[in-house]
Structure 1
Amino acid sequence: MYSAAFNEGWRQRLGPEYEDFIQALKKRTGQGLRVNTLKLKPEEFLRISPFPLKEVPWCPEGWVILEGEERAGRHPFHAAGLYYLQDPSTMAAAGLLNPQPGEWVLDLCAAPGGKASHLAARMENKGVLVANEVNPRRASVLAFNLERLGVTNAIILNERPETLAARWAGLFDRVLVDAPCSGEAILARDPGAFRAWSRSLLQRFARRQLNLLHQAACLVRPGGWLLYATCTFSPEENEGVIARFLKARPDFVLVDPPRHPLFAPGRPDWIEGGDPSLRWAVRLWPHLGPGHGHFYALLKRQGEGYLDRPRNRSHISPEAERLYEEFCRENLKEIPATEGLLEEGGRIYQVPLPPEMWRGLKVVRPGWWLGRVYKGCFQPDHALALGIKAEKALRVRDLSLDSAELKAYLRGEFLEEAPADRLAGQSLYKGRLYRSKYQSETLEGNKGKEWVLVTVEGFPLGWARAGGGGLKSLYPRHFRAAWG
């Protein structure tokens, strides 16, 4: 199946492990599922999981689906952002980089969003996450995924790394570079990558990766951390790139991270003149553990530096702020975002970075999209629904997994109300109603026009609008086709 050069190269390197390695590459691995801890704890998900699961050894929130993986991407829990489908090998990145709440973190090659959303979860949505993707189409997918997963501390960019390095030198506490590579870990599942593989291709990727790593290094503050990752096995793209980088940047050192028993060492013996410290890199092999395989190298920039980062102030008109706060008082128990508000073209965001820091860059989304001002009213965005907990809403319509109304809502259809639903000053729960002690007195005068948070088994799915004897689904049109 593989080329003679590929087979012979790996037979020489791996020796008796070669046959197991090749068979693992050809074998279909189980789909990985990472519980989104911004929504719930892993043990809570286990109690409601629609699938039998097996744990990923190096990631406490990571699992492998044992049965029913074909349904995982079209399950209502997926739409609610309770989990992200992710190869187990890639789940090691967040643990190795180890971002802390309140830090400034950059994912330089972030699409489709698995590692970026994992970083946000480890940060508990606190601090600054810059998720950058150079490909415009993939940047849009990145934005959708971060929205679905309830990430609220991210700015999403579509910029060249060189531009960011020139603009934000030494700004970040931690930087992740998930570098484009030859993809040897997925050759059997990617016919295009399989046909393109050659030794010259490895060299071309290595040159590109080294340049990308140098750009990323410029963005790390003294004392900060840089994680280099690929989904390939070739030493040219892994140990070779790290060795050349360290020779050019003596202010960086390779760090031996905390090791899981399945974290195999780097292989300095596979490159010419390889320094023994390259053993501190991490290799994940498909024949030794779950997942397709990965390479990681954790680097630390020497020195220490205090960064006097600018304070983030709000940039919103008094009228827009009034309408936003009025909506929150009438529909939520508290105002979810009060600082760093930005009004941009009628849209209101909470932005993690001051606008003066990113003006002139290609911004896909500057922050958490709260809603927009339209015809003298504030209309909440889908991202606001997915970024709050159900208990923060005054009116909730909770639908069970086996409910016909659930599919109707996801298809954008009108939901009929039970007669009791027409009572004023009540909140909906499990198709019934419960009275909220936080109910706003002003809602009486807005009867039939209230915003309702629709949830599945208690987890937000999106908004609906009460009126006409029922609920009008406001589930985004571009997501409805999946439920047709």
Structure 2
Amino acid sequence: MNLPESFTNRIKTQLGDDYDAYMNCLDQGMHHGLRVNTNKISVEDFLKISPFELKPVPWTINGFYYDDKACTPSKHPYYYAGLYYIQEPSAMAPASILPVEDGDVVLDICAAPGGKSTELAAKLHGTGFLISNDISNSRAKALLKNLELFGIGNMCVVSEAPNKLSTKFYQTFDKILIDAPCSGEGMFRKSQSMVTAWENNGVELFAGLQRGILNEVVKMLKPGGTMLYSTCTFSPEENEQSIEYLLSLDDTLELVEVPKYPGFCNGNPAWGKTENVELEKCARLWPHHIEGEGHFVALIHKKEAEQTQVFQSWIHRGCKPDKNAEEFLAHVSSDAGIRSAYIEENKGRLYYMAEHMPDVSGLRMLRQGLFLGEIKKNRFEPSQSLAMYLKQGQFDNEVNLTSSDDRVLRYLKGETIEASDQKIKNGYVLVLVDGYPLGWAKNTNGTLKNKYLSGWRMMS
């Protein structure tokens, strides 16, 4: 690889005798991974139906390596059913290590494109609430799609600057993930363009951005809460020194030992400026020690306080859906958990708002809650996000096809398909592959008019 001299000089100083091993690994191929969506399917059940040969990723129970020369998971119907997320293996570590528990209120502050947010949401098991933020509105659209694909309903997707969030959410979150913008030294093997970006920006720009974010997240973490800081870069300025800066902001913050899986290295106090031996509790994932591109991970706990701020909850306004929407929703079973008291309308669009969600009013919002569908003249059109949220048996009119059925691919490409072999009623049907929803169609005597969201369709 053609690497900048200033980078190789620094990394040689950092690694010493390990330098040659690091440089040699860059000439080898990348490692490819997928992470099972445990919001839809257990790891055990996925392995029973997986069409791919998989090998476990050691630091996450639902992550696996696959051979990109032998298979293309992004083209399989299970990908479109949201059964897994394609993710670089070391990037699975942050969301896996952050100890999210049922009922937590969680913030992912630099969330796009959603690889980590989807895992945080899955770990909530439908409880609590997730706010996923990205300051880039265009990137936040990809984030929203991935959360909807994963079937997540207890979430909001926002696009705000950190200082706007901290004004709104003082001491609100039990858990916060900061996968900080960084110089991307762990991405050099992926693309030469990352090397060019590093040359243009260096590490100083990103170290400054990180400190600006840390200034705000420290205000949003509840006493007793935990945050995780991560980057995909190796520079001390963006890692150990950023953690030193964070600790300087609040004397109730303390580092927590990151689990040291095989190949994980300690953080290095010598690369900081304060000689804080606690920095060893951080973890460095070097690509010549693990099967992955590399990461830095630090866990930080905020000590309990005698009094804590109680966050402002969303005021549920409720609404009575119009007749057409009400008739459609009557076909959704009660065990889907969509309670009428938490359905709200905004300009003809219906949303299910989670019971225990913070007040998100006044923020630049891409989505608040689960989008159920849209009230049109004399009809109700259910949303793609509702289809992905539902599980088999939760809608009373379903077409279940096998993944080998050519109608599945035709449906994903937006075509009309025939389903005269299925016992279904006229009207909206939920189309599934091997028991997992893909989207909607409208049946007329066995002919299914395709209602799969056009922007999600499989390209030929």
Question: TM-score if structure 2 supplies the norm length?
Answer: 0.94
What pairs up with 1:213-252 in 2 under 5 angstroms? Answer: 213-252=214-253
Aligned to 1:462: 439
Quote the Cα distance in structure 2 between the aligned partners of 1:147 and 1:178. Answer: 21
Is the 8 Å Cα contact of residues 331 and 395 (structure 1) preserved in structure 2?
no
Is the 8 Å Cα contact of residues 128 and 353 (structure 1) preserved in structure 2?
no
Q: 1:214 to 1:69 in 2, by over 3 A?
A: farther
Aligned to 2:418: 416
Q: How much does 1:312 deviate?
A: 4.8
Quote the Cα distance in structure 1 between the aligned partners of 2:225 and 2:395. Answer: 39
Aligned to 1:157: 158
Q: Does 1:477 align with 2:422?
A: no
- How many aligned residue pairs are there? 457
Quote the Cα distance in structure 1 between the aligned partners of 2:396 and 2:321. Answer: 23
Q: 1:251 to 1:393 in 2, by over 3 A?
A: same
Q: How much does 1:328 deviate?
A: 2.6
Aligned to 1:398: 400
Q: Which moved more, 1:268-277 or 1:288-297?
A: 268-277
Is the 8 Å Cα contact of residues 152 and 367 (structure 1) preserved in structure 2?
yes
Q: In the TM superposition, what whole-angstrom CA distance separates every residue of 1:108-132 from its partner, at most 9, and x where no partner exists?
A: 0000000000001111121110000
Aligned to 1:28: 29
Quote the Cα distance in structure 1 between the aligned partners of 2:240 and 2:70. Answer: 34
Is the 8 Å Cα contact of residues 229 and 295 (structure 1) preserved in structure 2?
yes
Aligned to 1:114: 115
Q: Does 1:315 align with 2:317?
A: yes
Q: Which moved more, 1:217-226 or 1:408-417?
A: 408-417
Q: Which moved more, 1:395-404 or 1:80-89?
A: 395-404
Q: In the TM superposition, what whole-angstrom CA distance separates every residue of 1:205-238 from its partner, at most 9, and x where no partner exists?
A: 1121111111111110111111111000111110
Q: SS where residue 63 of structure 1 aligns?
A: strand
Q: 1:356 to 1:281 in 2, by over 3 A?
A: closer
Aligned to 1:371: 373
Which letter maps to 2:286?
W
Q: How much does 1:38 deviate?
A: 0.6
Give identity over the alignment, percent.
35
Over 3 Å off, 4+ runs? 67-70, 304-314, 322-325, 330-336, 352-356
Structure 1 unaligned segments of length 5 or more: list them.
428-446
Which letter maps to 1:351?
M
Which letter maps to 2:28?
K
Aligned to 2:145: 144
Q: How much does 1:355 deviate?
A: 8.7
Structure 2 unaligned segments of length 5 or more: list them.
none
What pairs up with 1:120-135 in 2 under 5 angstroms? Answer: 120-135=121-136
Q: 1:323 to 1:307 in 2, by over 3 A?
A: farther
Q: How much does 1:77 deviate?
A: 0.5
Q: How much does 1:176 deviate?
A: 0.7
Q: How much does 1:146 deviate?
A: 0.6
Is the 8 Å Cα contact of residues 333 and 393 (structure 1) preserved in structure 2?
no
Q: In the TM superposition, what whole-angstrom CA distance separates every residue of 1:1-52 from its partner, at most 9, and x where no partner exists?
A: 2122221222222122111112223422221100000111111111111211
Quote the Cα distance in structure 1 between the aligned partners of 2:176 and 2:419. Answer: 50
Q: How much does 1:200 deviate?
A: 7.3
Q: Which moved more, 1:101-110 or 1:460-469?
A: 460-469
Q: How much does 1:331 deviate?
A: 5.3
What pairs up with 1:318-467 in 2 under 5 angstroms? Answer: 318-320=320-322, 323-330=324-331, 332=333, 336-338=337-339, 339-352=341-354, 357-418=359-420, 421=422, 426-427=423-424, 448=426, 450-467=427-444
Which letter maps to 2:363?
L
Is the 8 Å Cα contact of residues 90 and 294 (structure 1) preserved in structure 2?
yes
Quote the Cα distance in structure 2 between the aligned partners of 1:69 and 1:247. Answer: 49
Q: 1:69 to 1:265 in 2, by over 3 A?
A: farther
Quote the Cα distance in structure 1 between the aligned partners of 2:308 and 2:221. Answer: 12
Q: 1:271 to 1:308 in 2, by over 3 A?
A: closer
